[in-house]
Amino acid sequence: MGELLFADTFDDDAGWRLNQSDSGGSSVAGGRLSLTVRRPRAFQLVTRLDASYTDFLVEVDIHTELCSPGDEFGIVLRVNALGEHYRFVIACDGTARASRVLEEGSRALTWPIANPAILPSSPARNHLTVLARGDTFRFLVNDVELLAVRDVSLASGGLGFVARAGSGGQVSVAFDDLAVYALTADSSPTPTLAPTPLP
């Protein structure tokens, strides 16, 4: 990690595009940014586009308060004005995956992978880290590298968070201690997995 570019302890909601709907919502309170989903297979997405990041390391703590099998939640990267982004999520069952969302649809960059480093179910606290440099990405949970991919679709953009419900339709997660760092010259990723299309 290099210079600290941005940090947020969520003492207020400045800069975040929060929303409320029949399917759920987002809010900032008590030093956390919370996402709730109340309908099966619905999702909530909150972003901030006041800064654009290209090469960086981002880390955040995610607190799973309520989840069931099929639910997933995590961080979105390089978000642009169209809402296109990369997505790194963990699931209630203890798996992780990376995907890309463009105007024409979503595409898996990895298959879901299970790893004991991920604390499943709820309540649970997991530390997510993403290192992005150019077209390469490394994804870590609790300081264990789980996934590495290469994709050229989005060069830079903002940050955000996402939560998606499975068939149960009840998800509640909270994020805190967000930090974004510049990269040093020796932090270049070495990807080991190739992008994989959605089944």
Residue 119 lies in a domain: yes
Is pTM beyond 0.95 here? no
Residue 31 lies in a domain: yes
**What is the spatial distance between Cα 139 and Cα 88, in angstroms, rounded to a whole number?**
7
**80 three-state secondary structure:** coil
Residue 195 lies in a domain: no
Could you report the per-residue pLDDT of 112-147, keeping only the tens digit for each?
Answer: 999 999 999 999 999 999 999 999 999 999 999 999
Residue 190 lies in a domain: no
Residue 132 lies in a domain: yes
Could you report the per-residue pLDDT of 86-104, keeping only the tens digit for each?
Answer: 999 999 999 999 999 999 9
Q: Which of 190, 171, 188 is nearest to 70 (CA)?
A: 171
Domain count, the chain: 1
Could you report the per-residue pLDDT of 60-79, keeping only the tens digit for each?
Answer: 999 999 999 999 999 999 99
| Domain CATH number, residue 94 | 2.60.120.560
The whole-angstrom distance between residue 152's C-alpha and the CA centroid of its chain comes to 18
Residue 199 lies in a domain: no
Q: What angle (nearest 5°) sits at the alpha carbon of residue 21, between those of residues 17 and 24?
A: 90
The whole-angstrom distance between residue 168's C-alpha and the CA centroid of its chain comes to 21
**What is the spatial distance between Cα 48 and Cα 39, in angstroms, rounded to a whole number?**
24
Domain that holds residue 153: 4-181
Per the CB < 8 A criterion, the answer to whether 161 and 145 are in contact is no
Residue 146 lies in a domain: yes
Residue 193 lies in a domain: no
